[in-house]
Each structure stands twice: as structure tokens, then as C-alpha cells.
Amino acid sequence: MCIPVLPTVEEVSELVSDIIKGEWWNDEGMIDLTIATNGEELPNISGGADWTFQTGDNSYTGSCYHYRHWAVTTISREDDNPNEIAENLVDQLAELVFQ
């Protein structure tokens, strides 16, 4: 039996921080963020989770569609705690992967 592997809070926090600093915003200063995983390791990288993200709406295209488990949030350009947002996203994934 394989133990599921998730992205770390640090990895997701870095992504969230980059998004907050970026030019991704809609007219209301918000953007949707989805992260996704199958709970598997990256090939040839011990302990590294295979995961991806997409921003904007969750239409029928995007990098997350190749993964089973999704975590979704909305980020504001005013958010000042990327780590808290990352913890929430990783917790969402953990609930799905470890069911």
C-alpha cells in the first residue's frame, strides 16, 4: 500500500505569495486558485508530491483536470498571510486523499 503524498504547506505558500505579488487580478481584486493532486510522488523524486495549480475559473480546461483531488479558494490582493491560505488548501486535499 502506498502512502499518499501531498504538496507541502511551504510549497503552496510560496505559490500563493507569488500570486498575491502578481498581476493576476480580476476587476474586484480577486482570483480563484485551484490546486490538485492524485496523492502520488513525482517520478524519480523521493517524497516530492505530484501536484499542479490553475488560476481563474474552473472551466473544462486547465492543468488540474489530470488530477482526482482538488482544493479551491479565492485569493484577494489584500491577503497578507499566504501560509494560512496554503494550510487551508493542503487540509482540503488531505481530507480528500485520506478518505
* Residue 62: per-residue pLDDT: 84
Query: What share of the chain has pLDDT > 90, as a percent?
Result: 61
Per-residue pLDDT of 75-88, as tens digits, reads 998 888 999 999 99
Give dist(CA 69, CA 81) in Å, integer: 24
Task: Give the mean pLDDT of the chain.
Answer: 89
What's the confidence (pLDDT) of residue 15? 96
Quick: pLDDT tens for 19-63. Answer: 999 887 888 899 999 999 999 988 766 668 899 999 987 667 788
Q: What is the pLDDT of residue 56?
A: 84
CA dihedral 52, 56, 57, 63 (to 10 degrees): -20
Helices 82-97 and 9-21 cross at an angle (nearest 10°) of: 130
pLDDT of residue 1: 47
**Facing residues of 31 across strands?**
75
Question: Residue 4 burial (CB < 10 Å; 0-12/13-18/19+)?
Answer: middle
